[in-house]
Amino acid sequence: MVKSKKKIVILGSGFAAVECARQLESEFGKDPGIELVMIGEDNFLLFTPMLPQVASGMIETRHIVFPIRTICKKTKFYEGRIKNVDPYGKLVTIWGTRDKRSISIHYDFLVIALGSETNFFGMADVEKNAYTMKTLNDAVMLRNRVIDMLEQAENETNPILRKSFLNFVVVGGGFAGIETAGELMDLLLDARKYYPTIHKEDLKVIVLEAMGEILPGFNKKLADFAKKKLIERGIDIQLKKAVTSFDGNEVTIKTLDETPKDSIDQSEVKSIITKTLIWTAGVTPVNTIKRSMFKTEKGKIIINNFLEVPKFPGVFAIGDCALFIDPITNRPFPPTAQIAESQAKMAAKNLISLIQNSEQEKFVYHSKGQMAIIGKRSGIATFLGVNISGFVAWLIWRNVYLSKIPTFDKKTRVFLDWVIDLFFDRDISRLKLMKREAELEYKLLDEVDDVW
Ligand SMILES: Cc1cc2nc3c(=O)[nH]c(=O)nc-3n(C[C@H](O)[C@H](O)[C@H](O)COP(=O)(O)OP(=O)(O)OC[C@H]3O[C@@H](n4cnc5c(N)ncnc54)[C@H](O)[C@@H]3O)c2cc1C
């Protein structure tokens, strides 16, 4: 009797999914009894730590994406959006569209690594009007937006409107928000020389953070250093500020008071005029997970110490979409690529053990350190237990992340982009990638109209 192939299906094509596939490929790549399958909405891995540098035009868009077919060569790849996971029938269904058929794929073992999406905490107006920093499209849209705002401001005579073009508000003082703010300031200062009426003091980048500090999770000294450097570069950091609305012209903010005196909300409310609000204030798991049959908490799949989903042996959940409590802090692990990759390694190891009938291991996380860049040649890093700040931290950041880029050609391209940026100005051409909007005829109010 011919032994049937066992199918391992990995959902997602991000950090966790790719690392897990690579680990499994090295074990089962030549095993005819195992088939590896990956299903992802995008046919590439997006290297998010460099996304803000794409938004600022320092790195070319395609240099931070890695096609799955080139980095996971022994895994069969399906490009598609997952509609449903049926853990009882062991089936994954992909949405059909006008151009592609909906298909269902059977699995014997499943790894769920569907990541997260931007969380607007139910604020529909913010979701409608804000820019985000999560996908490649977000970075390209933001770059175009910034350049468009400079173009509009250059010839604008109304001072209030001009101010709203040149005020940029970043919401969220985590990794994504701080790195985006730093890069945004670099882009604005570099591009400014081509806009003669725009002066340095006209440009405002404001970071709003709901907590009392930026870069939570970092050593306090380093976070304070980052804050000081950003302020020196002209970035306004406002702490304990929560956004309550954004209509596309004005953002309203509430000051959070940690010790409300009575039940009446006496928070100070103010507003900032801006046409560009960049929302990086939180993530939430994708809808496919939220409406799945798996047990979730705050939208994340609950997993055990072996990263397996309880009640479904052979189903693992890893990365941003999984809820794993840090035994030291008793709080969920933060959503980082480092943790996603570390869990991917362990999930692959436990899957191999499961298939080979050996014992599984509990997941224990050992942080290798943390790093962030805060704009022009400055950064912060905790590396091998040592806290480093300034130029050296920036250099470490570049070296570490360059070494993490999975292919040699993209490593070279990113390196060349960085070198070119040292010697040449950034490109300020705005690429129209969206459908052209119909032009509306606006009539100026004249005396005759005034009569009515
Ligand atoms: C701007 C920015 C900067 C960051 N900087 C850092 C940093 O410096 N260091 C760090 O450690 N972390 C950083 N992070 C966080 C890091 O990117 C995430 O924690 C990491 O990507 C999580 O990996 P993941 O595999 O769980 O999810 P992801 O990498 O988000 O992958 C999820 C995958 O699932 C796919 N997917 C989702 N839904 C579906 C569906 N329905 N059907 C098919 N496919 C689907 C997505 O397309 C994606 O391929 C940063 C994040 C951002 C946004």
**DSSP per-residue codes, 43-61:** SEEE-GGGHHHHHTTSS-G
Average pLDDT over residues 21-29: 97
Cα–Cα nearest to 50, from 447, 433, 403: 403
Report the pLDDT value the prediction gives residue 56, as an integer from 0 to 100: 93
pLDDT, tens digit (0-9, with 9 covering 90-100), for 387-410 = 899 999 999 999 999 999 999 999
19 within ligand 1 shell (Cβ under 6 A): no
Measuring from atom 19 of ligand 1, which residue has the nearest CA? 336
Paired sense of beta strands 322-323 and 116-118, if any: unpaired
Q: Which residue has the higher pLDDT, 451 or 372?
A: 372
- Cβ of 52 below 6 Å from ligand 1: yes
User: Does residue 253 have its Cβ closer than 6 Å to ligand 1?
Assistant: no
DSSP 237: E
How do residues 104-114 score in pLDDT, each as one tens digit?
999 999 999 99
List the end-to-end C-alpha distance of the chain, in Å, as a whole number.
90
Of 284, 232, 274, 298, nearest in space to 115 by CA = 284
pTM: 0.91
| Calpha distance 328→331 (Å, rounded) | 8
CB 83 within 8 A of CB 94: yes
Residue 91: Cβ within 10 Å count: 14
pLDDT, position 265: 62
Q: What local confidence, expressed as pLDDT, does residue 433 receive?
A: 64
Task: Give residue 444's pLDDT.
Answer: 46
Query: Could you tell me which residues are beta bridge partners of residue 189?
Result: none
pLDDT band of 445, cuts 50, 70, 90: very low
Protein residue closest via CA to atom 5 of ligand 1 = 49
44-48, 182-186, 369-373, 383-387: segment of lowest average pLDDT: 383-387
Among 434, 448, 446, CA closest to 148? 434
Name all domains of the chain by residue range, CATH numbers in brackets.
Answer: 6-41+80-117+284-367 (3.50.50.60), 124-281 (3.50.50.100)
Q: Which of 249, 311, 241, 306 minimizes the C-alpha distance to 274?
A: 249
354 by DSSP, 3-state: which? helix
What's the pLDDT score for residue 264?
61
Element (H, E) at 37: strand 34-40
Q: For the segment 288-347, what is each residue's pLDDT rounded down to a tens digit?
A: 998 899 999 988 999 999 999 999 999 999 999 999 998 888 888 888 999 999 999 999
Contact predicate 1/328, CB 8 Å: no
Residue 428 confidence class, pLDDT cut points 50, 70, 90: confident
Q: Closest Cα to atom 51, ligand 1: which residue?
A: 48
Question: What percentage of the chain carries pLDDT values higher than 90?
Answer: 78
Q: Is the pLDDT of residue 438 over 80?
A: no
| Tens digits of residue pLDDT in 191-213 | 999 999 999 999 999 999 999 99
> Mean pLDDT score of the chain, rounded to an integer?
91
Residue 263's pLDDT is 60
Given a cut of 60, is residue 441 above it in pLDDT?
no
- The reply to whether ligand 1 has any atom less than 6 angstroms from the CB of 288 is yes
Q: How confident is the model at residue 14 (pLDDT cuts 50, 70, 90)?
A: very high
β pairing state of 76-79 and 82-86: unpaired
Collapsing DSSP to helix, strand or coil, 380 comes out as: strand
| Most informative mutation of 114, 300, 367 for ligand 1 (most atoms within 8 A of CB) | 114
Q: What is the dihedral of CA 369, 46, 286, 91, to 10 degrees?
A: -110
Could you tell me the distance, in angstroms and rounded to a whole number, from the CA of residue 12 to the centre of ligand 1?
9
Count the Cβ atoms, other than its own, within 10 Å of residue 302. Answer: 15
Integer Cα distance of 55 and 46 in angstroms: 14
Q: Residue 449: what pLDDT?
A: 42
| Segment 172-185 mean pLDDT | 94
Confidence of residue 118 (pLDDT cuts 50, 70, 90): very high
